[in-house]
Structure 1
Amino acid sequence: MRFPTVQEQLDIIVGNVVEIISTEELEKKLLHSLQTGKPLKIKLGADPSRPDLHLGHSVVLRKLREFQDLGHEAILIIGDFTAMIGDPSGKSKTRPQLSAEEARENGKSYFEQASKILDARKTTICYNSDWLGKMTFSDVIRLSSHYTVARMLERDDFERRYRSREPISIHEFLYPLAQGMDSVHLKNDVELGGTDQKFNLLVGRDLQREYGIAPQVCITMELLVGTDGKEKMSKSLGNAICFNDTPNDMYGRALSIPDSLIETYCRLLVPQKSQPLAEVLEDLTSNPREAKRALAREIVAQYYSLTAAGEAEEHFDRVFVQKKAPDNIELFLFDEPSFPVIDLLIRLGAAPSKSEARRMIQQNAVALDEEKITDTNALVPLDDEPKTIRAGKRKFYKVATKKTF
């Protein structure tokens, strides 16, 4: 492949980047790649501690895709072995460990979802258990000899926990070393990660040098703030927009971000070539509502289609602006003539547990044909005329008996 010039590549690579360690080394690697015609190996480690990706993950995935489009080799490492350790980055306490089966299963889902951004045909996917799982205890001791406890305690989260006397397990020190061994094994030229991964990336760079390998360039990306406008996007915090959200949920959650985040979301999530959205942003201060709607449409279109984005907007306007039920609501048919409301919510999939169903009712979030249900012991009568159940703001169901269907 014929690569763009070094400067043309740099102009693309530096977009939305927080830090490059170091730019001079990256320029040398790009020049060597250009002169030899050999693509650089660009590594991104994926922690499969959860099976679902959100827009925060897309920031660094888009950077990996840019390297792909420039002609370089994208390597996605599924950390199924390191997930059994648990990444302590940014954590105030020991992180739960996954079994090998859980990590491997989550990793498969991760790659499938990441392929919505990456060119899957040009992405090399690896599982680090393939080499880390083969290391002997002697190998681990030799690896540990390359790093000191003092160096580990330079890491912000370890230092905070050490000073506050929070427990730090020895196995947590092994996480950055294990991740660094991925770089030693792959001999990659560049590693990408969020700013919270800087320490781990630098450990990989140091270990490559220790093992006589040209050290990788480390590139860190900004962490996306969640829809609450406060914390880093995380599904566990309830402030995430996930790749696998329905178009309706994705659109609605995008509209829930504070106005102060519109520009940041556009910068980190929307390709520069999206001219219609760029035009809206020019008028952001005078019409933030329309800018946010354009952003929500763009996000849905990226993960689904323009048609799905339009339908999601129509759904939102009908349900939340006009206060009407959606046009297409799934019909559930039952043999029973009535249901306790809590049991019905669980059968419909509107609530994962009885306690959650009870909480929804107590918060006036459940309605039968637009009449709120406030009694947690209420019975919902069913007959051959479908009734509409609303659970929360976005979930609608039709329920009826089977006898006439």
Structure 2
Amino acid sequence: MLPVDEQLKVITSGTMQIVPMDELKKKLERGVPLNIKLGVDPTSPDLHLGHAVPLRKMRQFQDLGHHVTLIIGNGTALIGDPSGRDSTRPPLTEEQVEANAQTYVEQAMKILDPDKTEIVHNGDWIKPMNLGTMLGLMSKFNVARILEREDFHNRYTNGQSIALHEFIYPVLQAYDSVMVKADLEMGGNDQIFNLLAGRDLMRDMGMEPQVALTMPLLVGLDGTKKMSKSYGNYVGLTDEADDMYGKLMSIKDELVPMYFRLCSTLPVSEVDKIDEAFKDGTADPYQMKRALARNICDLYHGEGAGKAAEAAFDAQFKRNEVPEDIPEFPLSLASVNDEGKVYLAKLLVDVNIAKSTGEARRLIDGGSVKIDGKPVAPKSYNVDPALFSQPCVLQSGKKRWARLA
């Protein structure tokens, strides 16, 4: 194994908190592989780059020679993690959880080394738990301390509902650490209470307590909010390579170093150089984004996927070539109205380029609408039907296309 200082350089890269750092150093100094725990609740079938941040850190631990345990929370998911929530999560059925768990593992193995990953399900020890065991665990936790959690505190002081079963969640997550004998548990920065609860429970049960390591929440494509499907600012791990590349090219320049550190496969030393280049102004953000997008596409779609996606991106956006797979509609949609014209605003709605004629008019007035690559003049809501006498391509901006044939 690498010397402790070299390991710590990799481990601390991109992390938010390591509590306590001195205990982690002592564990590493023993020179034996640590058991690194990450628990995930399969509440959704599809993952995005934000979900992958702790998985990338787990892979770094694997590459350093440590053992990783991925806990699939098919027991805790039935409760739902209250972390960062301002309301009770809607319950999932066991069937939903199990279906989500299968796809979660498939996607996680694109990042982790399957041969070095132990996968366990906490339902195996949570579901058979008897009343005596549950009461014994709950007796080790203090309600007042749980109410100090920011999410619970805010809901309590604002008079918002807190369901009793939500209090059990950190108890069961802590018990997971006991069951797998974790040396270190990872999670998002919003998980720090749950991670420290596991540390306290292990100590109370006479075990060496785990170290808590948190990772930052990845900022989404909008550049402000955390990456989330609900915000529509995400890059899905199952997105097609072309879509993944295009989305990554849209991130703000200042986010490029963060994405390299948290999402790419580049060594920490190379990411440090990228950080410095952005700080001293020598970086070319556009070229850096292209390299980032290639790296991430290769990670999730295989070697060479990044270059292929980049070629497709250049064909569409740099040389203004028409994409091959745009939706096709019948030419008859370009019908002539009583004025002897084609009402272009309605046609844009019919081919799904605009959601309403109002939006279509705004697109036309903004100069983004083209017919066979030729811009349509502002206020041109009714156009000459001769434009649609043969198959043609409608376009708005770089992402909205339709073919009439």
TM-score (norm: length of structure 1): 0.80
Give 1:255-404 correspondences, 5 Å limit. 255-273=249-267, 284=278, 285=281, 287-326=284-323, 328-329=324-325, 359=355, 363-364=359-360, 394=399
In the alignment, what sits opposite 1:72?
66
Deviation of residue 339 (structure 1)?
A: 8.5
Aligned partner of residue 56 in structure 1, secondary structure = helix
Q: Would you say how many aligned residue pairs link Structure 1 and Structure 2? A: 368
In the alignment, what sits opposite 1:193?
187
In the alignment, what sits opposite 2:220?
226
Question: Structure 1 stretch 9-18 or stretch 363-372: which is displaced more?
Answer: 363-372
Deviation of residue 295 (structure 1)?
A: 2.1
Question: Structure 1 stretch 200-209 or stretch 306-315: which is displaced more?
Answer: 306-315
Q: Answer whether contact 1:280 1:294 (CA < 8 A) is retained.
A: no
In the alignment, what sits opposite 1:380?
none
In the alignment, what sits opposite 1:179?
173
Distance in 2 separating the partners of 1:391 and 1:76: 45
Task: Note closer, same or farther for the CA distance 1:195–1:6 as it changes in structure 2 (3 Å cut).
Answer: same
Q: Answer whether contact 2:126 2:172 (CA < 8 A) is retained.
A: yes
Q: Deviations over 1:331-364 (max 9, x none)?
A: 88x9x99789xxxxxxxxxxxxx9x998377644
Give 1:7-26 correspondences, 5 Å limit. 7-26=5-24
In the alignment, what sits opposite 1:162?
156
Aligned partner of residue 16 in structure 2, secondary structure = strand
In the alignment, what sits opposite 2:381?
none
Task: Note closer, same or farther for the CA distance 1:148–1:389 as it changes in structure 2 (3 Å cut).
Answer: farther
Q: What letter matches 1:20 in structure 2? A: I
Task: Note closer, same or farther for the CA distance 1:7–1:360 as it changes in structure 2 (3 Å cut).
Answer: farther
Q: What letter matches 1:302 in structure 2? A: L
Q: Answer whether contact 1:41 1:73 (CA < 8 A) is retained.
A: yes
Give 1:29-48 correspondences, 5 Å limit. 29-32=27-30, 34=31, 37=32, 39-48=33-42
What are the ranges of 5 or more consecutive residues in structure 1 without an aligned counterpart?
A: 341-353, 373-384, 401-405
Task: Note closer, same or farther for the CA distance 1:368–1:66 as it changes in structure 2 (3 Å cut).
Answer: same
Q: Answer whether contact 2:327 2:401 (CA < 8 A) is retained.
A: no
Distance in 2 separating the partners of 1:262 and 1:120: 29
Distance in 1 separating the partners of 2:80 and 2:399: 34
Q: Answer whether contact 2:146 2:167 (CA < 8 A) is retained.
A: yes
- Pick from 80, 95, 98 the counterpart of residue 101 of structure 1: 95
Distance in 1 separating the partners of 2:308 and 2:357: 29
1:136 aligned onto 2:130: yes
Q: What letter matches 2:135 in structure 1? A: I
Q: Answer whether contact 1:16 1:221 (CA < 8 A) is retained.
A: yes
Identity of aligned residues (%): 45
Deviation of residue 280 (structure 1)?
A: 6.7
Q: Answer whether contact 2:48 2:237 (CA < 8 A) is retained.
A: yes
Distance in 2 separating the partners of 1:283 and 1:30: 32
Distance in 2 separating the partners of 1:368 and 1:141: 70
Q: Deviations over 1:382-404 (max 9, x none)?
A: xxx9876879954767687xxxx
- Pick from 88, 91, 96 the counterpart of residue 82 of structure 2: 88
Distance in 2 separating the partners of 1:233 and 1:158: 23
Q: Deviations over 1:238-270 (max 9, x none)?
A: 111111111111111111111221222222223
Give 1:142-157 correspondences, 5 Å limit. 142-157=136-151
Distance in 1 separating the partners of 2:192 and 2:205: 20
Task: Note closer, same or farther for the CA distance 1:207–1:275 as it changes in structure 2 (3 Å cut).
Answer: closer
In the alignment, what sits opposite 2:209?
215
Task: Note closer, same or farther for the CA distance 1:41–1:362 as it changes in structure 2 (3 Å cut).
Answer: farther
Deviation of residue 31 (structure 1)?
A: 2.5
In the alignment, what sits opposite 2:231?
237
Distance in 2 separating the partners of 1:19 and 1:116: 26
Q: Deviations over 1:51-84 (max 9, x none)?
A: 1111112221111111111222110011111111
Aligned partner of residue 355 in structure 2, secondary structure = helix
Question: Structure 1 stretch 7-16 or stretch 77-86: which is displaced more?
Answer: 7-16
Aligned partner of residue 126 in structure 1, secondary structure = strand
Deviation of residue 130 (structure 1)?
A: 0.6
Q: Answer whether contact 2:353 2:396 (CA < 8 A) is retained.
A: no
Aligned partner of residue 133 in structure 2, secondary structure = helix
Distance in 2 separating the partners of 1:283 and 1:173: 46
Task: Note closer, same or farther for the CA distance 1:279–1:219 as it changes in structure 2 (3 Å cut).
Answer: closer
Distance in 2 separating the partners of 1:281 and 1:302: 21
Q: Deviations over 1:268-306 (max 9, x none)?
A: 223443898877766543632222222222222222245
Deviation of residue 161 (structure 1)?
A: 0.8
Deviation of residue 318 (structure 1)?
A: 2.6
Q: What letter matches 2:305 in structure 1? A: A
Distance in 1 separating the partners of 2:353 and 2:172: 43
Deviation of residue 42 (structure 1)?
A: 0.8
Distance in 2 separating the partners of 1:395 and 1:195: 37
Distance in 2 separating the partners of 1:304 and 1:153: 44
Distance in 2 separating the partners of 1:369 and 1:91: 48
Deviation of residue 213 (structure 1)?
A: 1.7
